[in-house]
Amino acid sequence: MASTGIQRFQGKVALVTGGASGMGAETSIRLAREGASVAVVGLPDDPRGADVVAQITDAGGNAIYVGADVSREADCDAAAQAAVDAFGRIDLCMAAACILNAHYVSGEVPDDALAADRRAGHIINKPVEFWEKVLSVNLTGVMLTNRAVARYMIAQGDGGAIVNISSGAAKIPMPGSAEYSVSKTGVWMLTRVLALELAPHQIRVNTVAPGVIDTPMALGLSQDEERRAAFERFVPLGRLGEAEDIAEATLFLLSDHASYISGQILHPDGGLFTG
């Protein structure tokens, strides 16, 4: 793959969930650009996954696409096994798969389904299945992904690095989105616990918690200039984040430049969630 001159991940193998679009796709491409072989993990029926892999392989990199539902233990275990079968090991992991609400499908939410979610409103009225759906992907899915890759890292015996994607919602409660806020705070605590549990194996675990990022999950901010401008006014640096901003933060934490950092949460948010 065309090199930027930096090869921080030469000879490494990475597994990226949520890799078919947005932050996961950008991080997958950048990992490959810097020498990693990448198992790009996304939903089985998402055609964008093949596009991400094609971008990597067409430029001379190594990548495979693995279809998986991260809320299913068997799928997470199979994804990790697929990475090992293809590339021999796993050194790095980005767990980025998540949903905004129970009806979210990569930025394209049917109007009637989204309306039903919004009508449910606050947690006292929201159906428990809405809650369970979001936590099953955003929190349980991260746990299942982390332990699937960590088992291989432990067996390999030479350490590794994991980055979990949380959100500014881990610090700032979002009325009407209790399940999302709770799931993202849970990812932060999960990261801290795993950082301690895996430290004896020299496996580092950290969290990246983005602010408002211009990805499919931003629900049309790119197409709605008025809404976008309103969001940007709240950001001290005056712009929405880009997938590249999150990829850069993630690659830093996965790299040897962060070899003494574990159990931490990094907020690339333009200053939005300071304090």
pLDDT-wise least confident of 9-23, 127-141, 205-219, 223-237: 223-237
What does the pLDDT read at residue 32?
98
Among this protein's residues, is 104 annotated catalytic? no
Pairing mode of beta strands 62-67, 37-42? parallel
Per-residue pLDDT at 36 exceeds 70: yes
Q: Per DSSP, what are the bridge partners of residue 241?
A: 213
Summarize the confidence of residues 72-92 as an average pLDDT: 98
Per-residue pLDDT at 147 exceeds 60: yes
CA distance linking residue 2 with residue 228, whole number of Å: 33
What predicted TM-score, i.e. pTM, was given to this entire model?
0.90
Task: Specify which of 110-124, 232-246, 249-263 reaches the highest per-range mean pLDDT.
Answer: 249-263
**Among candidate residues 12, 107, 15, 26, the one with its CA nearest the CA of residue 64:** 15
Per-residue pLDDT at 165 exceeds 80: yes
What does the pLDDT read at residue 89?
98
What does the pLDDT read at residue 137?
97
Q: Per DSSP, what are the bridge partners of residue 67?
A: 42
Three-state SS sequence of 148-166: HHHHHHHHHCCCEEEEEEC
What does the pLDDT read at residue 171?
83
Summarize the confidence of residues 74-101 as an average pLDDT: 97
CA distance linking residue 182 with residue 100, whole number of Å: 12
Q: How far is CA 241 from CA 60, 206, 218, 269, in A?
A: 29, 20, 11, 7
Class of domain 13-266: alpha beta
Per-residue pLDDT at 239 exceeds 90: no
Start-to-end Cα distance in the chain: 41
Catalytic residue among 104, 152, 180, 260: 180
What does the pLDDT read at residue 110?
46
CB atoms inside a 10 Å sphere around CB 250: 29
**More confident position, 228 or 27:** 27
Per-residue pLDDT at 2 exceeds 50: no
Cβ pair 178, 134 in contact under 8 A: no
Summarize the confidence of residues 120-128 as an average pLDDT: 84
Mean pLDDT of the chain: 88
